[in-house]
């Protein structure tokens, strides 16, 4: 039988500690909430009160339950108040010296059978446990912010943590309504090791002026469906906290350069630009602690002298896959005349477009006549010469580099002057396609995030030869489709894929190292970070062959060791385990 915890202690009542207190008290556990001073204790009590009052206002907690919750909490100054608890959870700032001092004191004060747990998100649990005379009773209990909402708890065992201690805290997680994922003691654990590598790389993209802060955050919320953009999330976490977590993971996690803090983070911390807590970080806020973003000198403004655009009424789509069919359907549904040139011939292309329309491209107009009208605006073609009169061409062939370059050379011959030639590639350098033509100023990338029908973001990828007029035309066309655009330079992965696929690759590396399983890693990111899909579920949906191709392109351009494709990904692709479409990837799929 698992041990019954009736009275627990929480040390440190900041946002995280107060949230942990609320989790225990909500679930009928008496809590001794401890701070270092009366003022700090009052702030912790106020944090708990605000959280529970919000829950009442939103109908998530009854008034009587709120009052009962508060009655279970005993606020105290000093660690001596914890002498009779069954479990202590430490939630103080991420400083190893501070945590060691606290654990040494807890070891002296608490009963011999009391379990000592740390909520550290980056420090080694083993490094903390050695400050006690009972390292076998020390464990990591890493809750996620906001603790009352997020379902995941990482249960971190050291090489000496007793098996019954792990069993007892796993049972406690279940009692608290949490999903416990048990892992070994390693820098960053699961979620932070994956999350902060991605956040760090996002800062590097911004620091290199590859993309604006607003476009960077829109890329990941609109392009990937993440709950918050990376720069906004860093402001919420606190740049000082992020710096400490990254620095700890870099020093204690094998010196992976993806965790070496970007120089801009250190500079902003030194300057006191810590995010929401100080009122300024990557964004500027109404006041310290506020979530309301206010304009600042970096906020984009309307430009009156924007370059002229070319009217686009007829659109050519070249390709026969899902993306080509979706694009033909989207443009036709928006009122454009579309010439669809498919490698499978008109019949195959038409069938795919009809399927796209039936699956919801015209969901705002469910009347079948809307679908039929959209189909009537499409001309099915089997020769590029039929693109002679279009105003915009979208290439969506997913062909080999030489084949795609040849295609653009043919489009240059066929299309009239001034036509924007766009590629939807996510792996080929746009400049190589542009230089296959005699009109590189008219060539750019239009990367529609997939699935095209669900994602509203389009990356407008400009080369060093792309004209402002072509860029303006592309943005205007996408705006008319109701899409949000971001403009970025021509580099591997652009913005979305440059951030998404290294994160996915990191997850594969973690799996291959035997640190955690497929389900645990997916749970860590969905339940701990609020991601809509775990990395392995997403890889199976995208296709492992696609992921490998993108990751290879990223590595070829940078030669950064941390971006080298995971060998396991290559092995699965070689074995034909390509994901959902093939029936097997990281998981088995039936009824596809």
Q: Give the rounded distance of the alpha carbon of 359 from its chain centre.
A: 27
Q: Which of 392, 496, 399 is nearest to 443 (CA)?
A: 392
Cβ–Cβ under 8 Å, residues 492 and 447: no
Backbone angles phi, psi at 315, to 5 degrees: -120, 135
* Sign (positive or negative) of CA dihedral 173, 178, 184, 187: negative
Give the DSSP H or E segment for 32. Answer: strand 30-35
Q: How far apart are CA 534 and CA 530, in angstroms?
A: 10
Q: How buried is 503 (Cβ within 10 angstroms: 0-12 exposed, 13-18 middle, 19+ buried)?
A: buried
Q: How far apart are CA 294 and CA 274, in angstroms?
A: 16
Burial track 460-492 (b if 16+ CB lie within 10 A, e otherwise)? bbbbebbbebbbbbbbebbeebebbbbbbbbbb
Q: Which DSSP letter does residue 358 get?
A: I
Q: Which DSSP letter does residue 385 get?
A: G
Backbone angles phi, psi at 467, to 5 degrees: -80, 150
Cβ–Cβ under 8 Å, residues 459 and 445: yes
Give the CA angle between residues 224, 230, 234 to the nearest 5°. 155
DSSP string over 468-516:
HHHHHHHHHHHHHTT-EEEEEES-TTTTHHHHHHHHHHHHHHHHHTTSS
Give the CA angle between residues 282, 285, 289 to the nearest 5°. 105
Per-residue tokens: 542: 């995208």
Residue 286's contacts (CB-CB under 8 Å, 6 or more residues apart) are 279, 292, 293, 294
486: β partners? 459
Q: How far apart are CA 285 and CA 299, in angstroms?
A: 12
First to last CA, the chain: 42
Measuring CA to CA, how many Å separate 480 from each of 313, 475, 592? 11, 9, 35
Q: How far apart are CA 503 and CA 496, in angstroms?
A: 11
Per-residue tokens: 276: 């929401």
Residues noted as catalytic: 121, 142, 154, 192
Per-residue tokens: 330: 């989207």
Bridge-based pairing state of the strands 138-143 and 314-318: unpaired
């Amino acid at each position: 039988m698992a041990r019954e915890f009736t009275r627990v202690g929480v040390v440190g009542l900041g946002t995280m500690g107060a949230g942990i207190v609320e989790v225990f008290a909500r679930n009928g556990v008496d809590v001794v909430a401890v701070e270092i001073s009366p003022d700090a204790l009052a702030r912790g009590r106020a944090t708990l009160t605000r959280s529970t009052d919000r829950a009442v206002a939103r109908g998530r907690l009854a008034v009587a339950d709120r009052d009962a919750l508060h009655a279970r909490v005993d606020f105290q100054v000093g660690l001596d108040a914890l002498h009779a608890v069954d479990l202590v959870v430490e939630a103080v700032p991420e400083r190893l010296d501070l945590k060691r001092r606290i654990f040494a004191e807890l070891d002296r004060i608490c009963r011999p059978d009391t379990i000592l747990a740390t909520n550290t998100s980056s420090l080694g649990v083993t490094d903390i446990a050695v400050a006690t005379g009972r390292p076998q009773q020390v464990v990591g209990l890493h809750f996620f912010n906001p603790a009352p909402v997020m379902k995941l708890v990482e249960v971190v065992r050291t090489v000496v943590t007793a098996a019954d201690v792990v069993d007892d805290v796993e049972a406690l997680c279940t009692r608290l309504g949490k999903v416990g994922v048990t892992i070994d003691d390693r820098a960053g654990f699961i979620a932070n090791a994956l999350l902060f590598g991605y956040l760090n790389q996002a800062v590097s993209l911004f620091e290199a002026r590859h993309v604006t802060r607003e476009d960077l955050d829109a890329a990941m919320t609109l392009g990937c469906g993440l709950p918050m953009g990376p720069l906004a999330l860093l402001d919420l976490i606190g740049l000082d906290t992020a710096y400490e977590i990254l620095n700890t993971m870099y020093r204690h996690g094998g010196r992976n350069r993806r965790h070496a803090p970007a120089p801009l983070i250190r500079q902003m911390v030194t300057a006191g630009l810590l995010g929401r807590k100080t009122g300024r970080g990557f964004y500027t806020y109404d006041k310290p602690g506020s979530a309301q973003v206010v304009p600042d000198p970096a906020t984009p403004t309307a430009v009156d002298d924007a370059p002229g655009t070319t009217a686009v009424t007829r659109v050519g789509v070249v390709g026969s896959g899902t993306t080509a069919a979706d694009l033909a359907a989207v443009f036709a549904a928006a009122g454009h005349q579309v010439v669809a040139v498919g490698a499978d011939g008109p019949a195959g292309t038409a069938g795919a477009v009809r399927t796209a329309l039936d699956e919801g491209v015209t969901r705002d107009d469910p009347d079948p006549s809307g679908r039929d009208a959209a189909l009537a605006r499409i001309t099915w073609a089997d020769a590029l010469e039929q693109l002679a009169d279009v105003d915009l061409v979208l290439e969506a062939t997913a062909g080999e580099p030489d084949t795609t370059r040849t295609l653009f050379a043919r489009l240059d011959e066929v299309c009239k002057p001034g036509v924007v030639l766009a590629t939807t590639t996510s792996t080929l350098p746009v400049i190589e396609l542009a230089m296959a033509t005699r009109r590189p100023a008219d060539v750019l990338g239009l990367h529609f995030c997939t699935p095209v029908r669900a994602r509203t973001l389009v990356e407008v990828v400009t080369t060093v030869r792309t004209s402002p007029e072509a860029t303006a035309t592309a943005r205007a066309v996408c705006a008319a489709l109701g899409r949000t655009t971001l403009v970025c330079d021509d580099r591997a992965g652009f913005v979305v894929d440059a951030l998404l696929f290294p994160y996915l690759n990191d997850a594969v590396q973690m799996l291959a190292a035997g640190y955690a399983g497929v389900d645990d890693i997916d749970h860590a990111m969905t339940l701990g970070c609020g991601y809509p899909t775990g990395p392995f579920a997403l890889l199976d949906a995208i296709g492992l062959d696609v992921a490998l191709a993108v990751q290879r392109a990223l590595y070829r351009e940078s030669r950064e060791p941390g971006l080298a494709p995971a060998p396991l990904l290559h092995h699965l692709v070689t074995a034909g385990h390509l994901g959902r479409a093939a029936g097997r990837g990281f998981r088995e799929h039936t009824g596809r």
